[in-house]
Amino acid sequence: MSPAKIEGDKKRGYIVPIGGAEDKEGNADILRKFLEVSGGKGARIAIIPTASMLPDTGARYEKLFKKLGAGHAHALPYASRDDAANKEWLEILENADGIFITGGNQLRLTTILGGTNVAKTIRRSNARGVTVGGTSAGAAILSEHMIAYGKEGNTPHAGEVTLVPGFGLTNRIMIDQHFRQRDRLGRLLTALAYNPFAVGVGLDEDTAAFIDHHKHLTVVGAGALTILDASELTHSSIAEIKEGKPVTMTNVRLHIIADGGSFNLESRKAHAKKA
């Protein structure tokens, strides 16, 4: 699923993947920044809690965004593909300044919303300037290629990652969340072995990547981003080895970027936080 085309003089809105477990009770820096790039005080935020099985997830984020100054915060509890045709909810989504997708099970997002007018509206909205972000499962779904599941560990292994189509807001990155906490370096490397074009973005918990229309990524949060760049990959054994065997990958670049640091998805250059 490719990003929607930008029309006229519009600029693509921010894309904001969050690694999960973002601070909600303290300074809430990530959610506060999300609201800021969505228009700031008075912004209209649409919340999609579909990935979560907890009945109060949508209401909780409504309260959080209203507390931070949102003018409107509406949860749209899509629970079936029939719900995706709800015209009233679709109107709220179309008029939102920011769209936030909660955590849970990312396969609920693909099976309930994949290919629907909701997914199409999210892509079109981002192409005309609306901020779209998500936490945990809501982060994974943002890119064209989504990691559905895979084994933990530091070493990439053939056949131990399953990729499915995401919402397709960007085809430049592949996202993995709860990165350091759940030891997911190996599965993100495996995903990149399949598709070296993309940049691997491993998000620690309480850490986000704010990606602007210049394809410039800035880190916000308490943890760090692990950036894996396979654009100069010289060898991958993924096509030659049996399932379950370790994958050889040579000349993969790795960056660890903390709060305030940045990465340019076009030039593939990383920058530390300026003093």
Q: List the domains of the chain with CATH numbers.
A: 15-265 (3.40.50.880)
Strand bridging mode 44-48 / 145-150: unpaired
- pLDDT tens digits, residue range 148-183? 999 999 999 999 999 999 999 999 999 999 999 999
Tell me what pLDDT residue 275 has: 60
Tens place of pLDDT per residue across the chain (275 aa): 678 888 888 899 999 999 999 999 999 999 999 999 999 999 999 999 999 999 999 999 999 999 999 999 999 999 999 999 999 999 999 999 999 999 999 999 999 999 999 999 999 999 999 999 999 999 999 999 999 999 999 999 999 999 999 999 999 999 999 999 999 999 999 999 998 999 999 999 999 999 999 999 999 999 999 999 999 999 999 999 999 999 999 999 999 999 999 999 999 999 998 76
Contact 152, 184 (CB under 8 A): yes
Kindly state the tokens that stand for 220.
Answer: 């916000």
Q: Is 178 considered catalytic here?
A: yes
- Summarize pLDDT for 46-56 with one digit per residue, the tens: 999 999 999 99
User: Of 136, 143, 236, 262, which residue is the catalytic one?
Assistant: 136
Q: What are phi and psi of 49, to 5 degrees?
A: -95, 20
Asked whether the beta carbons of 72 and 100 are under 8 A apart, the reply is: no
The answer to whether the beta carbons of residues 141 and 22 sit under 8 Å apart is no
Residue 160, pLDDT score: 93
Q: Give the model's pLDDT for residue 7.
A: 82
**Which of the 8 DSSP states describes residue 182?**
T
Instruction: Report the SS3 class of residue 204.
Output: coil
Choice among 143, 205, 236, 255 that is catalytic: 205
DSSP 54: -
User: What's the CA gap between 172 and 266, in Å, rounded?
Assistant: 9
For the entire predicted model, the pTM comes to 0.97
Q: List beta partners, residue 164.
A: 146
Catalytic residue among 178, 236, 255, 262: 178
